Amino acid sequence: MGFRKPRNSVLGVELAGEVTAIGKEVKQFKLGDQVYAINGLSFGAHAQYICLSEEDPVALKPLNATYEEAAAIPFGGTTALYFLRKGNIKRGMNVLIYGASGAVGTAAVQLAKYFGAEVTGLCSTTNVEFAKSLGAEHVIDYMKEDFTKTSQRYDLILDAVGKVSKGQCRHLLAPNGTYVTVEGQGIARVTAKDLLLLKELMEAGEMQAVIDRRYALEQIQEAYRYVETGRKREMS
Ligand SMILES: NC(=O)c1ccc[n+]([C@@H]2O[C@H](COP(=O)([O-])OP(=O)(O)OC[C@H]3O[C@@H](n4cnc5c(N)ncnc54)[C@H](OP(=O)(O)O)[C@@H]3O)[C@@H](O)[C@H]2O)c1
């Protein structure tokens, strides 16, 4: 984004690393702390160094996570948290995660379980077992089954990939049921508290990072091309 040229030429919205320098008034972090963060539309996370304020969404990384695992959590994790809360997720709810195998979807399945919901995930054939392994009690394979024909009713439907409209699934909502989507309902607001919750859940084994492929920084164009296929977890 930018009028004559990109305002920020370094992309990247999520990161993990070590604190190597610190401002005089910083209280929450010290040199050597291992942190993870999400820098949202400020970008800059693909560089080797980044300057953050302690007011930003930055927190100590989960103790049991490598830097790679920690960096794979904030984008999907905080987005899923924001939209599940927007849908007033509560214990005992019957929840459908539309697109259960992407960055937002995999986090949404795990977080909905943490909130005590009964979870149905929707994904393609290749990812059915994977969605179950994340905790989904039921999985709809959209390549074999038309989910709009189910007799199930959901208290909350989260469209985690921006591919299904409220109109398409209105009849699947229970009375007072809610539909939320990652596309067209604003940008997820994120705080350091959200990262601390995700850290706790990872340390408690209730949340895992999902890493599909790894690329060196020199291969970043290839990495972006892969992400832009819209299918980070490949179909066979
Ligand atoms: N509003 C916000 O603040 C916010 C924040 C973050 C992300 N987002 C949006 O969230 C969306 C998802 O982001 P992401 O990073 O999670 O994406 P992603 O990881 O690239 O999602 C890829 C997954 O989407 C699934 N998929 C693709 N087409 C599908 C379809 N027609 N129906 C169902 N599932 C389908 C694929 O799984 P299968 O092969 O199993 O179908 C694939 O695993 C993006 O549109 C992004 O812009 C919004």
State yes or no: pLDDT of 235 exceeds 60. Answer: no
Centroid of ligand 1 to alpha carbon of 30 (angstroms): 36
State yes or no: pLDDT of 179 exceeds 50. Answer: yes
pLDDT at 230: 84
In 87-104, which positions are buried (b, 16+ CB within 10 angstroms) versus exposed (e)?
Answer: bebeeebbbbbbbbbbbb
Residue 234 Cα: closest atom of ligand 1: 39
This prediction's pTM: 0.95
If one residue of 41, 85, 104, 165 were mutated to test the ligand 1 pocket, choosing by the most ligand atoms within 8 A of its CB, it would be: 104
Beta bridge partners of 118: 94
Least confident of 108-112, 186-190, 222-226, 232-236: 232-236
Centroid of ligand 1 to alpha carbon of 29 (angstroms): 33
**What's the token pair of residue 120?**
């149905």
Residues in contact with ligand 1 (CB, 6 Å cut-off): 76, 79, 99, 101-105, 123-124, 127, 142, 161-163, 182-183, 187-188, 230-233, 235
pLDDT at 234: 61
Token pair 């994340």 is found at 134
Mean of all residue pLDDT scores within the chain: 95
Q: Are strands 34-38 and 58-60 parallel, antiparallel or unpaired?
A: antiparallel
pLDDT at 6: 84
Higher-confidence residue of 39 and 7: namely: 39
pLDDT at 84: 98
Centroid of ligand 1 to alpha carbon of 161 (angstroms): 3
State yes or no: pLDDT of 236 exceeds 60. Answer: no
pLDDT at 87: 98
pLDDT tens, 41-68?
889 999 999 999 999 999 999 999 999 9
State yes or no: pLDDT of 133 exceeds 70. Answer: yes
Evaluate whether 10 touches 46 at the Cβ level (below 8 Å): yes
Centroid of ligand 1 to alpha carbon of 67 (angstroms): 23
Evaluate whether 97 touches 112 at the Cβ level (below 8 Å): yes
Give the residue among 59, 56, 23 at the shortest CA–CA distance from 40. Answer: 56
State yes or no: pLDDT of 82 exceeds 80. Answer: yes
Q: State how far the Cα of 55 lies from the Cα of 192, in Å rounded to an integer.
A: 8
pLDDT tens, 3-27?
998 888 899 999 999 999 999 999 9
Centroid of ligand 1 to alpha carbon of 204 (angstroms): 26
